[in-house]
Amino acid sequence: MRKRVLALLLIILMVAPAIAGCSRSADQAEPPESSEIKKGGVLNDYLEDDPNGFDVQENTFLVMYTLARQLYSTLLRYKGDTLELEPELLAKMPEVSPDGRTYTFELKKGVKFHDGTTELVADDVKFTIERMLDPNGKGMSTWLFEPILGAKKFMEGKAASLEGFKKIDDYRFQIILEKPYAPFLNNLAVPAASIYSEKLVKAAGDNWRLNPIGTGPFRLKSYVPNTEIVLEKNPYYFEPGLPYLDCIHYRIVPDATTALMEFENGTLDVCIIPVNEYQRIKDSGKYEVLEGVALNTYYFLMNMSDPMWSDVRLRKAVAMAIDKEKLVQALYGPRGTVAKSFVTPGIPGAYEEGTGPAYDYNPEEAKKLVRELGNIGKLQAWQRGGDRLTDANVAIQAMLKEVGLDLEITIVEKAAFSDARNKGKIPANHGNWWADIPDPDNYLYTFFARTNQMSSGYNNKEIQDLLEKARAEVDPEKRKELYRKIEDTIVREDVAVIPLFHIKSLLATQKNVKGIIMHPTGINIYTYAYKEIQ
């Protein structure tokens, strides 16, 4: 008997990996057909990390942005899953002066915060902006409001209030910019620009970060650190009839495999599908699989100020040595598309999908350039610790080897990597950029302006002047022309960056979950989501 038990245990251990590849076959039955389906229910979702607070001004992680979208509202938001802006807390779209510097806003009347009594007024908007820019505060997304007149002075503590904010009455106000900045309205739709109540924040003091009170479709019901966050329907939400869900129950599940198992077990309603499980989940037919466009570009960036990478022929050789089609197919299969431009297609002013200035795969030309360069020794690139980019880096390394380039990749711990990037000390790296706002400025200015924030070492003064000009240009056609010229130069002539591929967002839901909006900015919106309840 003992021998049998032991043998059985051994068999279980041996067949376990095989079972791992199988999907659940038993339950998950389709709901019985009924004509009386109600919209509502509790959505069981998960977060990979605990935001450790709910103050979106002091936390810029995607987890926080996701929660902020449910808890708070912004002046403007994106319409459905498009990149078109629409008013959220505003009564109508703002009026912009012909010089592109003055924006006049009008708030919706009667918008209540979660307490049901405090009404949103123009002072709250001013308070929110000043709180973010406060030199003694913890605002981390100061970049959102920095274009406002007097922001710099205010941030340095040289002004008591923000010069560029003019209150007209309780519901109307103006924002005046230092100089025209075309993407400004997009900044106001970023979750970090969520509007707080001056009265409620001041009353809560230090407790605010754990007791958020917004105007969003859901309000915080309970929070157990590192375990779960429960949001409930906001009964005072300003859009009648919304949201449909009664509750969102977020569990903190850091491991992607565990989350997938919980999803297949039916204990989670939503799950981000790991790439290697995509086909199995889709083919099972048991779940809804949502595929969404996502504003991202995976790239290979070379530091032009680093002597090792300063020769444009070398950068061009690298660009032509990488077989992007093969790379993206191997890594992401149908989830990925080859990038022809650095600015993700779909963004206003960007190249359309399949077009762009990037070099095509041309190993012969690459070899020729490498021969011209002579002996250049070992090339260096970094990989940020914790990033799942090793497979891609190994493939890039092998492709470069094919044309005679020897690339060494060093994995550098996350914080050390950020520090070096801030100082412009990274020689080269394969990375990805997920846009904060759908504007070419968010890509090109961030990487190649004079500040060199991403360690590009870019030093083409003419293009850097054009970057300043383009962000101030308010005519969409002229902006588009400027960005085309800028991107063509950066990607084609200077080869400062090699766009590799873009990937889609994948989300699986249980069959009875409907109405989730997967926005291209990477945030899932639950305002219109519901579960079909019999």
Partner 1 sequence: MIDYIIRRLIFAVPVLLGVSLITFILLNVVPGDPAVEMLGKHADPDAVQKIRNQLGLNDPLYVQFGRFLWNACRGDLGRSFKTGQPVTKMILDTFPTTVKLALSSAFVAVAVGLTVGVISAVKQYSFFDHASMIVALAGISAPIFWVAVVAQLIFGLHLKWLPISGYSTPKHMILPAIVLGIRFAASIARYTRSTFLDVIRQDYIRTARAKGLAERAVIFVHALKNALIPVVTVIGMQISGLLTGSFLTETIFAIPGLGRLSIWALSNRDFPLVQGIVLFTAVIFVIGNLIVDISYAFLDPRVRLH
Q: Footprint of partner 1 on this chain (CB under 8 A)?
A: 2-3, 6, 9-10, 12-13, 16-17, 19-20, 24, 49-50, 52-53, 60-61, 135-136, 138, 140-143, 155, 206, 209, 225-227, 251-255, 257-258, 261-262, 264-265, 267, 386, 413-420, 422, 446, 451, 453-454
Of 17 and 241, nearer to partner 1 (C-beta) is: 17
* 303 exposure class (CB count in 10 Å sphere: 0-12, 13-18, 19+): buried
Closest approach of Cβ 189 to partner 1, in Å? 16
Closest approach of Cβ 141 to partner 1, in Å? 7
Instruction: Using DSSP bridges, classify how beta strands 247-252 and 428-434 pair: parallel, antiparallel or unpaired.
Output: unpaired
Could you give the CA distance from residue 262 to residue 46 in angstroms, rounded to a whole number?
10
Q: Which residues fall within 8 angstroms of residue 449, CB to CB, at 6 or more apart? A: 464, 467, 468
Q: Does residue 250 contact residue 46 with C-beta atoms inside 8 Å? A: yes
Q: Does residue 517 contact residue 22 with C-beta atoms inside 8 Å? A: no
Closest approach of Cβ 326 to partner 1, in Å? 29
Closest approach of Cβ 426 to partner 1, in Å? 12
Of 48 and 311, nearer to partner 1 (C-beta) is: 48
Closest approach of Cβ 142 to partner 1, in Å? 6
Q: Which helix (H) or strand (E) holds 166?
A: strand 165-167
Could you give the CA distance from residue 288 to residue 308 in angstroms, rounded to a whole number?
49
Closest approach of Cβ 201 to partner 1, in Å? 15
Of 371 and 414, nearer to partner 1 (C-beta) is: 414
Q: Biggest alpha carbon distance in the chain?
A: 88
Of 317 and 426, nearer to partner 1 (C-beta) is: 426
Closest approach of Cβ 446 to partner 1, in Å? 8
Could you give the CA distance from residue 513 to residue 178 in angstroms, rounded to a whole number?
46
Q: Which helix (H) or strand (E) holds 362?
A: none
Q: Which helix (H) or strand (E) holds 194?
A: none
Of 138 and 371, nearer to partner 1 (C-beta) is: 138
Q: Which residues fall within 8 angstroms of residue 33, CB to CB, at 6 or more apart? A: none
Residue type, 361: Y
Could you give the CA distance from residue 13 to residue 467 in angstroms, rounded to a whole number?
60
Q: Using alpha carbons, select from 234, 262, 259 the residue that is nearest to residue 248.
A: 234
Q: DSSP states of 308-334 as a string?
A: GG--HHHHHHHHHH--HHHHHHHHHGG
Of 94 and 191, nearer to partner 1 (C-beta) is: 191
Of 13 and 35, nearer to partner 1 (C-beta) is: 13
Closest approach of Cβ 248 to partner 1, in Å? 17
Of 27 and 33, nearer to partner 1 (C-beta) is: 27
